Amino acid sequence: MFAKEKLDYSAIQLPDRVEMNANNSVKAAEAHLEFMRKRHSVRDFVPTPVPQAVIDAAIKAAGSAPSGANHQPWHFVAISSADVKHQIRLAAEEEEKKFYAGGAGDEWIKALEPIGTDASKPHLDLAPWLIIIFAQRWGEFADGTRYKNYYVPESVGIATGFLISALHHAGLTCLTHTPNPMKFLNRLLGRPASEKPVMILAVGHPAPEATVPSVAKMKKPLDQIMSVFD
């Protein structure tokens, strides 16, 4: 962690390690691939409760992500309150109405057509949990003086990936939602100006009739997303 007083570098023995031979490593990587292929972004949720212990563990996993200078520049707000979720829905839909009314531009709207989205966001009410992800642009010591955080978008992006993976591992589904702008979240949730809301995750169990857009299963092949120099 980061402190105002000088901290000297100190090394400790690697506390944990996972070791596999080459054959088992390939099998583990392929098994993980198949598991992650079962992850889908779903807009249709059932109100089945999800224990907070699951959310706690998933956010702890997110908090274990690497970050610039180990500053861990993130904060996660987990919400199950129906009233707070509804306030977020109303505020988000106000921004989304502007977005779909022309604020986004024709090209962006056209890009979203195969996804089938619009300004209505009922999942923000229906999902048993919303997790709001904040990026901490700077930190503050106890005396109020600021310190700089480094590689904030990259660090928060990695932590968010950890979080989504952990939720999937727990048998849950989630939907990423990014109304623009999102400053209303600071006001509603009492977060400081140093934090920028970057994403709303709706989290829960998918409804029996849940659907996904067919285009969501169209993933780029490996040769389009990977280059190898051996």
Give domain limits for the chain: 60-209
Residue 141: what pLDDT? Answer: 87
Cβ contact 45:127 at 8 Å: yes
How far apart CA 132 and CA 190 sit, in angstroms, is: 12
- Note the pTM of the prediction, 2 decimals: 0.94
Cβ contact 132:203 at 8 Å: no
Mean pLDDT per 10-residue section of the chain, whose length is 230 residues: 76 93 98 97 96 98 97 97 98 93 88 91 97 96 90 98 98 95 96 96 97 93 97
Distances (CA, A) of 162 to 57, 116, 169, 202: 11, 27, 10, 15
How far apart CA 195 and CA 114 sit, in angstroms, is: 33
Residue 31: what pLDDT? Answer: 98
Cβ contact 138:147 at 8 Å: yes
Residue 143: what pLDDT? Answer: 87
Residue 1: what pLDDT? Answer: 61
Residue 102: what pLDDT? Answer: 86
Q: What is the CATH number of domain 60-209?
A: 3.40.109.10
How far apart CA 123 and CA 146 sit, in angstroms, is: 37
Cβ contact 132:187 at 8 Å: no
Tokens 């904060």 sit on residue: 75
Residue 2: what pLDDT? Answer: 65
